[in-house]
Structure formats: structure tokens, C-alpha cells
Amino acid sequence: MIEIHKEENFFVVLSQRLDAMNADDAKETVTQELVDIDRNIVIDVSGLEYISSAGLQVVLKCAKLAQESHKECFLKGAHGTVKEIFQVSGFLTFLKEME
Amino acid sequence: MLKLIIPSYKKFLPLLNSFINVSSEVFDVRQIQDKIELCAEEAFIYLLRNSYRDEEGDIEISIEVNERYFILSFIDSGLPIEIAFPQTAAEGIQSIDTQTLELLLIKKFSHMAEWINHGKAGREFKLYFELPQQAIYTLTEIEESEHFEVSADDIEIKPFEKRWATEISQIIYKAYGYSYPNEDLYFPERIIALNESGQLVSVVAYDTKRDRIAGHYALERESLGSVAEIGQAVVVPSYRGLGLMKKIRKKTQEIGKELGLEGIMSKPVTVHLFSQKTNEVLGAVPVGMGFGVSPVKKFKKIEADSSQRGSCMYYYLPLKNRKRVLWVPQRHKQVIESIYTDLKLDYALKEEDDRPRENGTVQSAYSPDFEVGSIYVTAIGEDNIRYIKEAFFNLLFRMKAEVVLLYIVMEDFNIETLISQVEDEKFFFSAILPSFVEGKDVLVYEFLPKDIDESKVEIYADRAKELVHYVSNEKRKAV
């Protein structure tokens, strides 16, 4: 569901489903692991099959943490309906897409 | 109808998901299953948070499918709440409203949402999802499987009669699914009302032997102006090969003449050549190109590009001639004169460089069906550009128009300065339309926020190709 790796960027890897059932846990993981943000954050959704507004709030939290630390937040691998959800909700106005 | 009753706790969400997924399979709507599942979760969570506020109660979920929609309904008897959908998506991280994110997604991914109060029986939140195109297509094929020998002798081309309104809706539905942008055509009572007011002039091919409609064409005159738009062309598949399209259109043009119209314009699509060819054969003249002026929709049974907005040629058939005095911008003089020559309309050019009056007239309108904003400059004045910018901002950022069209009258005053100003604002020359706005000839300019991939544009006639090339160059300079 969520994994966070610290490499040249922070990689937040979201996979399978991110919905109202698991979003709170994912948010908790973000709070615990995304600390001392000294590099950009890349949210990799290439393995994400479903996201709802509850899941979007996890992404929003990552973006806000990046912004507070004056870093960039990128979205990687969005496709199909998942991408459409990011688009229509206005999230692509502040997340930068990367290949 | 399928029903599920679950308690108002989040832990029951997986049960709701299973219900949705199994129902999607049963009703064969797997193509839109992800959207239904998303909206179901959003509606359920929204009701838990706002209607029950962590209190216990039951939510009844029902599913039914009719010819057009997959309908998902939530009935609850929690706290009375009012549902107000957000008008627009957020722009920027600070404007994300997490309290209305669920409703925003429901608004974007369902076709329609209703909030019905049943009094003591609770409230119903009803979501409609349009059935996938494939399902409509299959339905049509079953209905059209009937075969009979048709003969042109059985067909009469006739003006509209009330009794045909439902059949007109049905044949439009069969031809276009629900992709035809003007939704009036799906409501027989609207077809009747519009024909009675003269805003629509329907002409049908009527099969006298079988008492049924074989085809339809219509003139659209929303403001009852001196130019009508011709369209809504359909020939029922069983009647193809009889040349009906041409016959109905010819009759429609004759009726236009009888009505005293100055001309008829049409906007044939550029995803195929057939409609353009019909225009050419019946004497209409290409007068411009509209990039991205049609919404993103699939044309049923026509190989179309659904990844971007559709483009149309502008064709014009003059029905009357009058002497007009025109101010045309020097930079487009050559192309404008060649269009007038093709149209065989009398004109004289004026070139005096007088100062225009201080105050002009600018109006604007937005068409949600087409997602197109229109700005009309009907009197030239020094303040035009200020009002154009104001209208442009409103259409683009408040109404979220995908394209903005700007119509500038050429029969009022010198427009050289105004043209420079609008081209500085990234509008580009798109067409000319004689007698189109308040009976005056206009220049049509276009603002296109997202460029169009022109490799998918197909153009039939050579003179049309030259014009498209010209407009395309203008677009390139602006976009």
C-alpha cells in the first residue's frame, strides 16, 4: 500500500488501493517517516490501481510537507483513471508530473 | 433492482465495494466500474461524516439500470444535510478543500447527481452513470437487425410534423448515442417546442409505405437571426444508398430560402470527409476552420479521436446577395477577399483611418454543451479591448471554457487597431461568416488554450485545404 525510501529523493511508493479503509494508516506512515525533509519528494503511483479522496489526502499531506520545507513534490507513473482523478481534483496544479 | 442495507460504519466499505463490483459484472458495465466504485465510496464516506457524524444508523443502497443509465442510490435517515457541489476544482495546494473533495469527485465522475428528500422516509442521494458507448451500440444493432427492401419511391421529403418528434429523438440516439452535443434532440417535447418557435426547422425523409422516418436534417436558429446553422443529419442505416442525405439537405436549404434567410452555415467535422463532401456538392463554400470547437466525444460508429477536442470546417451557403461595405484588416485582406470571391457576394472595402467612437458594444455567452465561450463585438469602439479582456477572463477562468471564439463585425468601423490588440492577446484568425451577427458580416477569431494535434484532421476540398493551412499558420503564431 505505502512504502517510503530515502534515496536521492524521498520516494513514496503507493500501490494497489489507497481508499478510506487504509488512508489513515498511510497518513500515519507519512507522518512518521517523512521527517527532516532535505530533498524533493517523488510519489510513485505506477502500481496504484485505485485512489479515492481519502487516498488523495495522503498525497496532499506529502505535498504540504514538501512545501513547508521548500522542496518540490513530484508525481510519477500516473495512468488511467488514477491520473484522471489527480487531474479533475486539481492536484496536478501543484504536483509536477515526471515520467 | 438490487439492494444492500449496511450500518453506517466505515468498516462496511469493503461490503459496499463487493456489491458494486458484482453488480457491474451482472449489468455488464465493467468499462465504467472504476468510476462507479469511486463515487460509491465518496458518497458513502460523505454520508457517514455529514449525515451520521459517527452515530449508528442504516444506509440503504440500491442499483437499477435503465436504457441510458446505471443508477446508484443511497437512502439514509441521518441528520438532514444540504449537498452543495463545488463549482470548480482547486487550483493550487492552498485551495484544496478536503471537506468537499468527495463531492467534487462525484460531480466529475458521475453523469448527474440528485438529492431527493423523502420526508420521514429519509433522503436519497442518487447518482447516474451513463452506460458505456458499447452498450448503446449493441442495443442499436439489435433494433436495426430488421431487414426490408427499400425504394426511393417510398420516400417523401417533408417539413416537420409533431408526431415525428419521438422518432427524430430515437434516430439521433441510434446514430450518435448520447454524444451529440445539443441535448435538446434527446427530448421530443423540446423538438416540438423549438420547431413551433422557429428556432429549429426540422426536415425529415418519411417512408410513406411503412409510416416511419428514414432521415432528418435541421436548421438551427437560436436567436432567429438571418443565418441558420444546418446540422443534425441522420439517415437510418436501412435507408442508406438512396441519396437521402443530399435530398433532405436540399429541401432544408429550400426551406431556408423561403424563410428569407441570408445564408446557411454548417460545421462539418474533420474526423471524416463525408459531411464536407456533402457541403461541397450542394454549393456551400469553405469560409474558415475551427480548431477544437467540438467537445471531446466519440462519434458513434465513426473512427474518431477521443483524446482531444474535435475540429470543424466552417462552410457557408449564401441564399441572398446584398451590397456590403467592409472594413477588413490589411494582414488578412487577401484571404478574406478570396473567400468573398468564392461566395460570389457583392462587397466594397473601406480603408479610411478615422478614429472609432469611444464606446463600442461587447457581449459574451457560454455554451456548456460545447464548453465554448463566445464574445461578440457588435459595435466598434475604443473601449472594445477592455471589455473583451474582461469577458475573456470570465469565460476562461470562471466558466472554464475550453475554447473562446471572438466575433468582430466588419460592417461598422475600421477594425485595424482592434485586430492588432486581439492578436496580441493570442487570438488567431479563424473564419469569416457573412450576416452572422445581428445581420452583419463578422470575422471569427479563436483562442485555443491547448493546441490540437492536426495530424488527425482530414480535409476534402483543395480550397478548403488552403484555408486550413492559412488558419493553422495563424494558430501556430498565437498558441
Nearest CA in chain B to A86: B105
Which has the higher per-residue pLDDT, B74 or B140? B74
What is the reported pLDDT for B135? Answer: 33
Residue B137 confidence class, pLDDT cut points 50, 70, 90: very low
- Residue range B365-380, pLDDT digits in tens: 888 778 899 999 999 9
Per-state percent for chain B, helix, strand, coil, to nearest 5 = 40, 30, 35
Q: Which among A53, A54, A64 is the nearest to B93, CB-wise?
A: A64
Nearest CA in chain A to B95: A90
| pLDDT tops 90 at residue A85 | yes
Residue B345 confidence class, pLDDT cut points 50, 70, 90: very high
Residue B405 phi, psi (nearest 5): -105, 140
B90 vs A93: CB contact, 8 Å cut-off?
A: yes
- Computed over every residue of chain A, the mean pLDDT equals 94
Q: Taking Cα atoms as reference points, which of B215, B331, B315, B307 lies closest to residue B269?
A: B315
- Other beta carbons within 10 angstroms of residue B415's beta carbon come to 22
Whole-number Å distance between alpha carbons of B384 and B271: 36
Residue B87 confidence class, pLDDT cut points 50, 70, 90: low
| pLDDT tops 70 at residue B134 | no
Give the three-class secondary structure for B177: coil
What is the mean pLDDT of the segment spanning B152-172?
91
What is the reported pLDDT for B256? Answer: 96
- What is the grid cell recorded at B72? 446508484
- Residue range A11-59, pLDDT digits in tens: 999 999 999 999 999 999 999 999 999 999 999 999 999 999 999 999 9
B45 part of contact set with chain A, CB < 8 Å: yes
- Residue range B171-209, pLDDT digits in tens: 887 777 666 777 777 778 788 889 999 999 999 999 999
Any alpha helices (H) in B270-332, and if so which ranges? 274-281
What is the mean pLDDT of the segment spanning B423-432?
97
- Residue range B15-67, pLDDT digits in tens: 999 999 999 988 888 888 999 999 999 999 999 988 887 678 899 999 998 76
Whole-number Å distance between alpha carbons of B346 and A70: 65
What is the reported pLDDT for B44? Answer: 94
- Residue range B252-277, pLDDT digits in tens: 999 999 999 999 999 998 988 888 99
What is the reported pLDDT for B5? Answer: 94
Residues with Cβ < 8 Å from A87, sequence gap 6 or more? none
Give the three-class secondary structure for B157: strand
What is the mean pLDDT of the segment spanning B385-412?
91
A16 part of contact set with chain B, CB < 8 Å: no
Q: A60-74, B124-138, B341-355, B464-478: which range is least confident on average?
A: B124-138
What is the mean pLDDT of the segment spanning B371-394?
92
Residue B299 confidence class, pLDDT cut points 50, 70, 90: very low
Residue numbers of B between 1 and 20 with CB closer than 8 Å to A: 10-11, 13-14
B101 vs A53: CB contact, 8 Å cut-off?
A: yes
| pLDDT tops 50 at residue B301 | no
> Which residues does chain B have within 8 Å of residue A64's beta carbon, measured at their own beta carbons?
93
> Which residues does chain A have within 8 Å of residue B10's beta carbon, measured at their own beta carbons?
20-21
Determine the distance in angstroms separating the CA of B38 from the nearest CA of chain A, rounded to an integer. 6
What is the reported pLDDT for B83? Answer: 65
Whole-number Å distance between alpha carbons of A91 and A68: 17
Residue numbers of A between 23 and 62 with CB closer than 8 Å to B: 50, 52-54, 56-57, 60
> Which residues does chain A have within 8 Å of residue B98's beta carbon, measured at their own beta carbons?
53, 57, 60
B307 part of contact set with chain A, CB < 8 Å: no
Helix B101-109, helix A80-88: angle, nearest 10: 120
pTM across the whole model: 0.59
Residue numbers of B between 75 and 114 with CB closer than 8 Å to A: 89-93, 95-96, 98, 101-102, 104-105, 108-109
Which has the higher per-residue pLDDT, B70 or B431? B431
- Other beta carbons within 10 angstroms of residue B26's beta carbon come to 11
- Computed over every residue of chain B, the mean pLDDT equals 87
Whole-number Å distance between alpha carbons of B410 and B433: 10
Q: Which among A21, A53, A63 is the nearest to B105, CB-wise?
A: A53
What is the reported pLDDT for B351? Answer: 79
A60 vs B45: CB contact, 8 Å cut-off?
A: no
Residue B132 confidence class, pLDDT cut points 50, 70, 90: low
Judge contact between B440 and B410, C-beta under 8 A. yes
